Structure 1
Amino acid sequence: MYIILTSKLGEYDARPGQGIAPVESYEYFFYGKKKANFTIAVVSGDEGRVSIVEAGEGGKTNSVPLKFFERFDTVEAARAELEQLVAFGSIDARLERAQLH
């Protein structure tokens, strides 16, 4: 199974926990400005958690269980979900494949 992790620039960073391994990463641009990073990750088991770390000094960390993430059977299904972001009417949005961190 796969999930999509979202990190919004200047707001928060989503970090995979044990049993969650990133497989692909994308940068999201909205009207030419980078707004977010999306990471498709494979999940082994149901007990994993994702850390959501607030940006900035003293940012808090929340540990979120997998049950709060939409799940996809294949990496292709997760990619299709991301493509929905850039296929909305005539907005200027695009995804660019990025290096995994």
Structure 2
Amino acid sequence: MYIILTSKLGEYDARPGQGISPVEAYEYFFYGKKKADFTIAEVDGDQGRVSIVETGEGGTTNSVPLKFFERFDTVEAARDELKQLVTFGNIDTRLERVTP
């Protein structure tokens, strides 16, 4: 199983916990400006958690169970979903693959 993690610049970072391994990572650009990072991660079991860490001084951390994340059977299915998430007709958006 695979999930998509989202980190939004200047707001929060999604960090995989035990049993969650990053497979692919992408930077998301909106009209040439980087807005977010996406990570496709492989999930081993049902008990993993993702830490959502607010950026900035005094940011809080939330530990979110996997049951709140949409799951995909294949990495290709996760890629397809990610492409749909960032495509908005003629709006200038792009994904750039980076090292996870």
Deviations 1:32-74 (A, max 9, x none): 1000000000000000000000000110000000000000000
The percent identity for this pair of structures is 84
Q: CA deviation at 1:99?
A: 1.3
The alignment's C-alpha RMSD in Å is 0.7
Write the distance in 2 (CA, Å) between the matches of 1:64 and 1:48: 9
| 1:30 matches 2:30 | yes
Q: Which amino acid aligns with 2:45?
A: G
* Equivalent residue, structure 1, for 2:76: 76
How far apart, in 1, do the equivalents of 2:35 and 2:87 lie? 16
The unaligned stretches of length 5 or more in structure 1 are none
State the shift of 1:88 in Å: 2.1
TM-score by length of 2: 0.98
What runs of 5+ residues in structure 2 fail to find an aligned partner?
A: none
Distance in 1 (CA, whole Å) between partners of 2:60 and 2:86 is 30
1:66 match: 66
**CA deviation map 1:56-99 (0-9, x unaligned):** 01100000000000000000000001111343210000000011
What TM-score results when the alignment is normalised by the length of structure 1?
Answer: 0.97
